């Protein structure tokens, strides 16, 4: 795996993770997309140096790159595509229902936070 | 809500759409041993569908589709399944590729594989899914 | 027999395709879907016996030989779980079809259901890691759709967290597979068994723990379980029952498959046992704090996962076999408990244990079904939970891991306590008001059939444990799996 691909994947993972922790669903979706791209990039990089053809003509010799991981990454990209479409539909419905795509707090989390707050006030 | 569609786009689409469909079918047919295939072909075909949507709205998309998009997806999945079953039937292996080579006078050699059948299924699945997306997310009126 | 093994995959795919074509006709969808489920039970039942008698089979899909093509491997572990899953799928489907206010009228329910079955069958049968990833995606995407069908209002948040967690886990799984491919040059599990030997030990165990982590998210082990009790109770009863019975167990299956074949250990793995103990105790403590039947049961899913990881952590034939028996027991019992919970919700209008009273007096059949399933979960003799737990405890004694065995017995006591809380809250007392609606006959029948299966599992305890031991020794014996898929080592 070349250093460039490794660094790019790392940056994508970091950016994606940051976006995942946001409250807006649209940002979460972008974050998930970036993380999926990072994973695909790692997969693509696992086959060796880039820039060589995966398919060579019969009789032709010379360096070629591993076609298997390119096939794998294609499958993974298609899966990412489908899942992203699904998430966008989910975000659209959330927006239709609430008028916002902000992800709400967990009810129980809020209750526990309130308990802690009250305890602090008492002491 | 009334949306006025651009006449420029509509006229352009009229020439673009047949070209896109022809190219998508070309990709589908050569897919078994050249770059292309059902997925790529299906995406180009869906680009034509998107153009219909942009130029004529979701009513236009509904009019060009013979049946509901979910059913198209189902038919595609069914065809892909049958292609696999063909392999099971004739070769004892699910999804194995069968070949049929003939020479037709004047036209030349013709090679038909069960991969083409499978790819046709994939083509329809992709088309159906994207049409579902267009109609569900881009529809003017809510069902 | 290779044809039959392929059929196990082809039949649910057929169901998915043709119930989607018949989208406008609910009756045709039901026929196709039920026929496909019955077919899957028949095929996997045949495989269950054929594989045990004639040995496992490996299928090269499309005629491309392993390790280059995609291999399907039907060995004892895979077909045992496939058969159990098929039974659960059929019972839950019958329950869903007989509901009055049906979820299945939602567009495409049957198609998505069969797609989920395809994903389950593929993840059990596949012989390479990448196809395992694809199978998980098929299964999980279908589960996202099923979960979000009814989501609205407050439930949106729970479903979104389920989907997001699932997708992050999938991306991590893909990354791990990519790294494994980068160091070993193959994704075929049989080929990896020997190729990973050449990898430096540190790198190797790092990859092993990464796989454990990502499958652990899917299996909901401590501390990666928080998404489960939040999202499962949101869905409709049949969907929750299916998720509870199948999805996490497939995650455990993947852990068992990869940890034994790819990252074998010579003795008990203390870290895994610690995780197992924490999962058991934290899960059951969460259950005790809850006040709704489905939420209580959801926490129990987490708790019971711990037992399976414990069996695996012993890393002996007896331990892995006990874990396998426990998975079989859990698939059936968890699905039937959730179906019983659904029956209570249908007849009383809610599953909150403070608001419901006296179900035992009004509908003794539901109460009896709950009692059987709950006792089985807690591990009372002579029910199926007892068979599983006895095997686990014996394996623990053999491996001389006293602490974790003690923890597991303690967790069992707490399980019993939490079940008795449901019992005294919901089933005892005087029924307060008139029932909302009587559950349809098919719903009760499907639940009763599944509870009956738990009794059968208990009665067939001895042959089941023997079968699981043969399956476990296949996993722990290096070379058996490899020879099956790609022939003898050079």
pLDDT tens across C105-135, in order?
A: 667 888 999 999 999 999 999 988 999 999 9
How close does chain B come to C5, measured CA to CA in Å? 10
Q: In chain A, whose CA is at the least distance from the CA of C158?
A: A106
Cα B36 to Cα B46: distance, rounded to the nearest angstrom: 15
Quote the minimal CA–CA distance from A25 to chain C in Å. Answer: 9
Q: Is residue A60 part of a domain?
A: no
Domain-located, residue B98: yes
Residues 6+ apart with CB under 8 A from C117: C12, C15, C16, C36, C37, C40, C86, C89
CA atoms within 13 A on the CB side of C243: 28
Residue ranges in C349-440 assigned as alpha helix (H): 359-362, 364-378, 384-398, 402-422
A89/B136 touch (CB, cutoff 8 Å), yes or no:
yes
Q: Which residues of C touch A (CB under 8 A)?
A: 130, 133-134, 137, 141, 144-145, 148, 152-154, 156-157, 159-161, 163-164, 167-168, 170-172, 174-175, 177-179, 181-182, 187, 230
Residue A13 belongs to a domain = yes
Q: Which residue of A has its CA nearest to C182?
A: A46
A42:C178 CB<8 A: yes
Would the pLDDT of C490 be above 50?
Answer: no
Residue C101, pLDDT > 70, answer no
pLDDT at C43: 93
CA angle C175, A31, A43 (to 5 degrees): 20
CB of A68 less than 8 A from some CB of B: no
Indicate yes or no: CB of B93 within 8 angstroms of CB of C9. Answer: no
Domain range enclosing B56:
7-138
In this prediction, residue B143 has a pLDDT band, given cuts at 50, 70 and 90, of very low
Q: How confident is the model at residue B2 (pLDDT cuts 50, 70, 90)?
A: low
Of C365, C245, C349, which is closest to residue C300 (Cα–Cα)?
C245
Shortest distance between the Cα of C20 and any Cα of chain B, in A, equals 5
> Taking CB atoms and an 8 Å cutoff, what residues of chain C touch A104?
154, 156-157
Contacts of C60 in chain B (CB under 8 A): 93
Smallest CA–CA separation between C400 and chain B, in Å?
Answer: 47
The pLDDT of residue B142: 43
How high is the pLDDT of residue C103?
56
Looking at residue C292, what DSSP letter applies?
B
Domain ranges of chain C: 265-459
Contacts of B136 in chain A (CB under 8 A): 89
d(CA A84, CA A81): 5
Query: What domain range includes position A28?
Result: 3-54+66-122
Any idea what the CATH number is for the domain that residue A115 is in? 1.10.287.3510
Percent residues over pLDDT 70 in chain B? 92
- The answer to whether C151 and C159 are in contact (CB under 8 A) is yes
Only one residue has tokens 């919901």, namely: C426
Total domain count for chain A?
Answer: 1
Domain count of the fold of chain B: 1
Mean pLDDT, chain A, whole residue set: 82
- Subunits with 3+ C-beta pairs closer than 8 A to C: A, B
Q: What is the pTM of this model?
A: 0.91
Q: Measure CB to CB from residue A79 to each of C137, C160, C181 and give the nearest one.
A: C137
Q: Helix C441-459 to helix C384-398 angle, to the nearest 10 degrees?
A: 30
Task: Summarize pLDDT for C246-277 with one digit per residue, the tens.
Answer: 999 999 999 999 999 888 887 778 899 999 99
Burial of B7 (0-12, 13-18, 19+ CB in 10 A): exposed
Q: Enter the DSSP assignment of C74.
A: E
Output the pLDDT for position A40.
92
Inter-chain CB proximity B78 and C21 less than 8 Å: yes
Of the candidate ranges A59-63, A89-93, C100-104, C180-184, the one whose mean pLDDT is the lowest: C100-104
Using pLDDT thresholds of 50, 70 and 90, give the confidence band for residue C488: low
- CA of C258: how far to CAs of B75, C138, C166, in Å? 36, 20, 20
C17 and chain B in contact, CB less than 8 A: yes
Q: Which of A25, A27, A28, A42 is most worth mutating to test chain C (most C CB atoms within 10 A of its CB)?
A: A42
> Is residue B134 in a domain?
yes
Cα gap C451→C370, rounded to integer Å = 9
Q: Which of C2, C17, C111 sits opposite B81 (nearest CB)?
A: C17
What pLDDT is recorded for position B141?
A: 47
pLDDT one-digit tens code per residue, C32-89? 999 999 999 999 999 998 888 888 888 887 777 777 778 888 889 999 999 999 999 9
Q: What are the pLDDT digits (tens) for B4-26? A: 678 888 888 888 999 999 999 99
Q: Is residue B1 part of a domain?
A: no
Chain A residues 56-85 with a CB less than 8 Å from chain C:
69, 72, 75-76, 79, 82-83
**C166 CA to chain A: closest CA distance, Å?**
11
């Amino acid at each position: 795996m070349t250093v460039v691909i490794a660094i790019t994947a790392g940056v994508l993972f970091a950016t994606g993770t940051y976006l995942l922790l946001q409250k807006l669903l649209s940002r979460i979706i972008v974050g998930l997309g970036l993380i999926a791209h990072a994973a695909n990039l790692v997969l693509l990089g696992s086959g060796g140096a880039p820039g060589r053809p995966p398919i060579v003509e019969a009789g032709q010799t010379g360096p070629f790159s591993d076609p298997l991981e390119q096939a794998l990454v294609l499958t993974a990209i298609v899966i990412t595509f489908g899942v992203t479409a699904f998430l966008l539909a989910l975000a659209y419905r959330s927006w239709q229902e609430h008028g916002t795509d902000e992800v709400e707090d967990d009810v129980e989390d809020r209750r526990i936070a309130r308990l802690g707050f009250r305890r602090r006030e008492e002491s | 809500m009334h949306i006025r569609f651009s006449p420029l786009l509509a006229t352009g689409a009229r020439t673009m759409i047949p070209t896109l469909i022809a190219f998508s079918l070309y990709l589908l047919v050569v897919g078994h041993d050249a770059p292309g295939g059902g997925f790529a072909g299906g995406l180009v075909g869906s680009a034509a569908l998107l153009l219909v949507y942009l130029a004529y709205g979701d009513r236009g998309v509904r009019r060009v589709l013979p049946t509901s998009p979910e059913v198209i997806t189902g038919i595609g999945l069914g065809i892909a399944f049958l292609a696999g079953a063909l392999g099971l039937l004739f070769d004892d292996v699910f999804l194995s590729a069968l070949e049929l080579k003939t020479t037709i006078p004047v036209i030349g050699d013709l090679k038909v594989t069960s991969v083409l059948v499978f790819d046709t299924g994939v083509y329809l699945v992709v088309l159906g899914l994207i049409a579902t997306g267009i109609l569900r997310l881009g529809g003017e009126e809510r069902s | 027999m290779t044809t039959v093994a392929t059929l196990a995959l082809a039949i649910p795919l057929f169901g998915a395709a043709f119930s989607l074509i018949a989208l406008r006709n609910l009756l045709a969808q039901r026929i196709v879907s039920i026929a496909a489920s019955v077919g899957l039970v028949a095929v996997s039942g045949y495989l269950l016996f054929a594989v045990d008698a004639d040995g496992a089979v490996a299928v090269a899909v499309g005629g491309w030989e392993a390790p280059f093509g995609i291999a399907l491997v039907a060995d004892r572990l895979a077909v045992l779980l496939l058969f159990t899953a098929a039974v659960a799928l059929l019972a839950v489907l019958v329950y869903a079809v007989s509901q009055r206010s049906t979820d299945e009228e939602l567009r495409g329910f049957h198609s998505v259901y069969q797609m989920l079955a395809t994903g389950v069958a593929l993840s059990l049968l596949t012989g390479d890691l990448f196809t395992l990833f694809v199978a998980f995606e098929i299964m999980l995407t279908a589960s996202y759709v099923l979960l979000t069908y009814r989501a609205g209002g407050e439930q949106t948040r729970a479903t979104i967290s389920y989907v997001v967690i699932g997708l992050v886990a999938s991306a991590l799984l893909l990354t791990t597979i990519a790294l494994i491919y980068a160091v070993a040059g193959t994704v075929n599990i049989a080929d990896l068994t020997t190729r990973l030997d050449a990898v430096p030990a540190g790198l190797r165990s790092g990859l092993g723990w990464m796989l454990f982590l990502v499958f652990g998210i899917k299996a909901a082990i401590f501390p990666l379980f928080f998404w489960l009790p939040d999202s499962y109770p949101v869905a409709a009863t049949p969907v929750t029952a299916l998720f509870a019975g199948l999805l996490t167990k497939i995650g455990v299956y993947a852990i068992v498959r990869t940890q034994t074949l790819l990252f074998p250990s010579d003795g008990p793995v203390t870290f895994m046992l610690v995780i197992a103990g924490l999962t058991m105790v934290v899960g059951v403590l969460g259950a005790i704090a809850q006040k709704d039947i489905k939420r209580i049961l959801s926490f129990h899913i987490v708790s019971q996962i711990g037992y399976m990881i414990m069996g695996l952590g012993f890393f002996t034939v007896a331990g892995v076999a006990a874990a396998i028996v426990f998975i079989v027991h859990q698939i059936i019992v968890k699905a039937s408990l959730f179906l019983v919970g659904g029956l209570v919700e249908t007849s009383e209008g809610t599953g909150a244990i403070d608001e419901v009273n006296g179900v035992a007096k009004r509908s003794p059949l539901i109460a009896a079904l709950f009692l059987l399933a709950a006792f089985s979960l807690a591990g009372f003799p002579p029910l199926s939970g007892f068979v599983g737990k006895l095997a686990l405890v014996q394996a623990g004694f053999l491996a001389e891991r006293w602490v974790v065995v003690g923890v597991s017995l303690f967790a069992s006591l707490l399980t019993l306590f939490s079940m008795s809380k449901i019992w005294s809250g919901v089933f005892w007392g005087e029924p307060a008001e008139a029932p909302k609606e009587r559950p349809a006959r098919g719903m009760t029948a499907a639940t009763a059939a599944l509870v009956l299966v738990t009794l059968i599992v208990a009665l067939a305890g001895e042959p089941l444990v023997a079968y699981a031991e043969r399956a476990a020794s296949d996993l722990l014996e290096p070379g058996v799996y490899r020879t099956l898929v790609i022939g003898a080592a050079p």
